[in-house]
Amino acid sequence: MVQVLNKLIGPKYIALGSVGGGALVYFTDWRLILDWVLYQRFHQTEAGRGSS
């Protein structure tokens, strides 16, 4: 499979695509996690204010 891709688009573009894909997954996952954590923290502080 890799040999076929090397012949079609070249190893430089395969490496570039792999790095870009990995960076996209890494940054997207952390962004989603941070958004969820901030939402949970806000939700807990709002719930705490309403019950006291």
Question: Residues 6, 14: contact at Cβ < 8 Å?
Answer: yes
- pLDDT score of 25: 77
Q: Are 41 and 50 in contact (CB under 8 A)?
A: no
Rounded Cα distance, 42 and 50, in Å: 12
pLDDT for 52 equals 46
pLDDT at residue 48, as a whole number: 63
pLDDT in tens, 1-48: 778 877 888 888 888 888 988 888 788 877 777 777 777 777 676 666
Query: Rounded distance, CA 10 to CA 38, Å?
Result: 42
Residue 51 reports pLDDT greater than 60: no
DSSP one-letter string for 17-46: HHHHHHHHHHHHHHHHHHHHHHHHHHHHHH
